[in-house]
Amino acid sequence: MAKRLSVLGSTGSIGVNTLQVVEMLGDEIDIRYLSANKNGDLLIKQARTYRPKAVAVVDPATARSVDKALAGEGISVLTGREGLLELASRTDVDLLLNGLVGSAGMEPTLLAVKAGIDVALSNKESLVMAGELIVRAQDETGASLMPVDSEHSAIWQCLAGEKKEDVRRIILTGSGGPFRTRKAETFSEITVTEALRHPNWNMGKKITIDSATMMNKGLEVIEAHWLFQLTPDRIDIVVHPQSIIHSAVEFKDGSVKAQMGVPDMKIPIQYALTYPRHVESEWERLDLIELGRLTFEAPDRERFPAIGLAYEALRKGGSAPAVLNVANEQAVYRFINNEILFTDIPKIIQAAGEQHEWIEHPELEDLIQLEDWTKAFVKLYN
């Protein structure tokens, strides 16, 4: 029987890749629900191709035009944030893929897990902000998280058949982004165009800037902590500019398992959809001989202070990672709008972390309030 799938953020980078995987897998996947924010034209096209039961459109004006276009086609249109949240909690699916960007993805993940639905998780911000709540909900309902983030998919694959207590540490690899070799003195002159030019991965804007500051790797450390239940001292970062080894696990006996592949998000997406199988695909193959060599180096925590900020927030725990996450995304949007410098991003995150009222075990309402506080804080920062 086909796996019934809901795709949140279907018109974004992860969503579009997911639908390519679905297309390739043929009858194995049945698209039940799709969601988008403002890209109505693409959503309408996707809806006509995959015939979901319903779509959710967050932006009200876009929702009206989608509703009009799909009238009489038997596809219902849910509107606004409420529509998205309603769609996320529907239980007539086997798997929900969360490809939303940023903190907007947190509540949908939590609702799906609470409803007992397995989540293929691309939205790492969900775990960064609400890791404790999501894990608690998983304990209650038994829902699983299938990592889509390439590093976490790699670790998940390396851990297959292994015992958790045999793991010494995990090694998250990162490309180092576009400024890996750029001189520290020129970081304040970095332009938006330069920061959006990622050497290996073709991704959405927010995550591309996160890769340039290396906050992406910091967020992934926190994501790994919740996914694999490891303390921060057991999670390391290694810069690997070719992005071929997607991450590795070191075991207690000194054995290290790494997972490799070409940098293409369709591969980890497919694994999350077909887990525990690796089924035939048509994606580009890895050619080690053509590659010739792989290189590794330590991350530079001085030029990339975001890494240290993320570890610090994880060690502090409670509400600290949530504030780090929201401050980061708001600062990134201000940078994209040319309102602040590239080097202001970590400064803003640090200031927000220091000034917020820390909560040890934040509930959902606390997180929503903290999100509002942090957004206001970043807006006023000069």
Stretch that binds Mg ion, among 30-38, 149-157, 180-188, 298-306 (CB under 5 A): 149-157
CB of 221 to Mg ion, least distance (A): 11
149 binds Mg ion, rule: CB under 5 A: yes
Site string for Mg ion, 104-143 (x = CB under 5 A): ----------------------------------------
Stretch that binds Mg ion, among 45-53, 109-117, 148-156, 235-243 (CB under 5 A): 148-156
- Between 44 and 203, CB nearer to Mg ion: 203
Spell out the SS3 assignment of the chain. Answer: CCEEEEEECCCCHHHHHHHHHHHHHHHHEEEEEEEECCCHHHHHHHHHHHCCCEEEECCHHHHHHHHHHCCCCCCEEEEHHHHHHHHHCCCCCCEEEECCCHHHHHHHHHHHHHCCCEEEECCHHHHHHHHHHHHHHHHHHCCCEEECCHHHHHHHHHCCCCCHHHEEEEEEEECCCCCCCCCHHHHHHCCHHHHCCCCCCCCCHHHHHHHHHCHHHHHHHHHHHHHHCCCHHHEEEEECCCCCEEEEEEECCCCEEEEECCCCCHHHHHHHHHCCCCCCCCCCCCCHHHHCCCCCECCCCCCCCHHHHHHHHHHHCCCHHHHHHHHHHHHHHHHHCCCCCCCHHHHHHHHHHHHCCCCCCCCHHHHHHHHHHHHHHHHHCC
- Between 15 and 40, CB nearer to Mg ion: 15
Q: How many residues bind Mg ion (CB under 5 A)?
A: 3
- Between 90 and 149, CB nearer to Mg ion: 149
CB of 333 to Mg ion, least distance (A): 20
Number of residue whose CB is nearest Mg ion: 149
Residue ranges in 193-222 that form contacts with Mg ion under rule CB under 5 A: none
151 binds Mg ion, rule: CB under 5 A: yes
- Between 149 and 329, CB nearer to Mg ion: 149
- Between 125 and 149, CB nearer to Mg ion: 149
Stretch that binds Mg ion, among 110-118, 147-155, 234-242, 326-334 (CB under 5 A): 147-155
- Between 151 and 329, CB nearer to Mg ion: 151
Q: Name the site residues for Mg ion (rule: CB under 5 A).
A: 149-151
